[in-house]
A and B are shown apart, each in its own frame.
Chain A
Amino acid sequence: MRRGQHTGWRYAATSLLVLGWTALPALAAEQSAPDPADSVAGLVFRWLNFALVVGGIVYFIRKVGAPYFRQNAQAIGQSIRQAAEERAAAERELNEASQKLAKINLEIQDLRRAAASESGAQTERIRALARTEVERISQAARAEIAAAERAAALELRGAVAQLATEHAAELVRARVSAATEAGLFRSFLSEIERSAA
C-alpha cells in the first residue's frame, strides 16, 4: 500500500514538470512585443495547445490515477473491513472474557461454598473421630482400672490367704500333739479303708 502511494506521487510530479516545460515558450514569447501569437491564429494555437495539455493531463490521470485511487480505495475498504472484523473479534473476545470473568466469579463463589461446606464436614468428621477416640480411650482406661482393681484384690486375697495359712501352720506346729497326730492317722487310715472298700 505504501509503495502504491509513492508511485502515484511520482507520476503526478512528472506530469507537472512536463506541463511546465511545454508552457515555458508561451510565457517567454509573451514578454516580447508584438508577438504573432497574439494574433487569432496564435490564440487558436494557444487554446489548442492548452487543450492538448489538459487532455494529456486528463488522459494521464485517468490512465494512471484511477487504478491507483481505486486500488487505494479498495485497500482502505479492506482495511476498514479488516478493522471492523478485528473489532468484532475483539468485542467477541471481550464478551467471552466478560462472561468468563462472570463465570469465574460464580465458580469462585461455588468453590468458596464447597470449601466452606467441606471444611464444615471435615470439622464434623474430626470431631466425631475425636469423640470416638475419647470414648475408646475412656473404655480402655476403665477396663484397665477394673483389671487392676481385680488384680489388686486377687493379690490382696492371695496375700491374706498366705498369711492366714502361714499363721495356721505355726499354730499347728506349736499345738499338734501325739493325740492329734494319732487322730489324723486314724482319719487317714479310714479314708484308705473306704477307698479299699
Chain B
Amino acid sequence: MSVLADRYADALADVAIEQNAVDQVRREFADFLALIRESPELSLLLESPAVQRASKRAAVEALTARMGASHTVRNFLLVVVDRRRTRLLPEIQQSFDARIDERQGIVRAEVSSAHELADGEKAELNGALDRLTGRRVLAAYRLDPALLAGTVVRIGSTIYDGSVRTQLERLRGQLASQ
C-alpha cells in the first residue's frame, strides 16, 4: 500500500471517527467503489486525464446524491478527484478499513469449517479469539468441505489449524519420511 493512499485514508478515518460515522462512511465508500468496479465507463471517466475536472466533479456529485451519501464521503471523493488520485481509491479503501479497525481495536479473522458452526459455537469461538488477541475480533465464517472436519482460523498471517485435512497431511508426511 502506498504512503499516499495511507495519508488519504488517515484523513478520512479522522473525520469519520470525529463525526462518529465510521460505519456509515465505510459503507458509503464501499458502495461507491462497487459502482466503479461494476462500471468500466465510470472508472474510465474518473481516471482519464482527457476528461475535465469539472465533468468528473459533476459525475461524483450526481452519483453521491443518487446514493444518498453523506457530505463527508462526497467531499472526500471530490478532493480525490481534484487531486487526480482516483486511481488510488481501492488502496485508500483498504488502508481506511485497516486504520479504522486499528483505532477501534478490531481484529478481523477468517474462520473456515467443514460443517456449519452453530451460533453458540461461533460466540464461543469469538470469545476465545478475543481473549487470544486481546482485541475485539470480527470473524467472517465460511464453509470449506475440503477440510473434511474441524475448523481453521486465520488472523492476519497467523493460522490456527484444527482441521482433519491438515492432520491427515501431517500423517502422510510422517509415513512417507519413515
Residues of A within 8 A of B (CB): 154, 157-158, 160-162, 164-165, 168-169, 172-173, 176, 178, 180-181, 184-185, 187-189, 191-193, 195-196
Contact = CB atoms under 8 A, between A and B. Distances in A.
B132 A188 contact: no
Contacts of B153: 192
B171 interface: yes
Contacts of B151: 184-185, 188
Contact of B132 (A161, A180, A195): A195
29 contacts: A157-B175, A157-B177, A158-B176, A161-B174, A161-B175, A162-B172, A162-B176, A164-B175, A165-B169, A168-B168, A168-B171, A169-B168, A172-B148, A172-B168, A176-B148, A176-B164, A180-B149, A181-B114, A181-B149, A184-B162, A187-B162, A189-B128, A191-B162, A192-B128, A192-B129, A192-B132, A192-B153, A193-B131, A196-B132
Contacts of B174: 161
Contacts of A162: 172, 176
Interface size bucket, B side?
Answer: 20 to 34
B121 interface: yes
Interface of B: 113-115, 117, 121, 124-125, 128-129, 131-132, 148-151, 153, 160, 162, 164-165, 168-169, 171-178
B164 A184 contact: yes
Contacts of B129: 192
A168 B151 CA distance: 18
Give the dominant DSSP class at A's interface: helix
Given A165-B168, A169-B165, A191-B160, A184 B150 contact: yes
Given A184-B150, A192-B160, 15 more contacts: A154-B176, A158-B176, A161-B173, A165-B169, A173-B148, A181-B115, A181-B149, A184-B151, A185-B113, A185-B121, A189-B128, A192-B129, A193-B128, A195-B132, A196-B132
* Top 6 A-B pairs, shortest CB-CB distance: A188-B162, A161-B175, A196-B132, A196-B131, A165-B172, A161-B176
Contacts of B113: 185
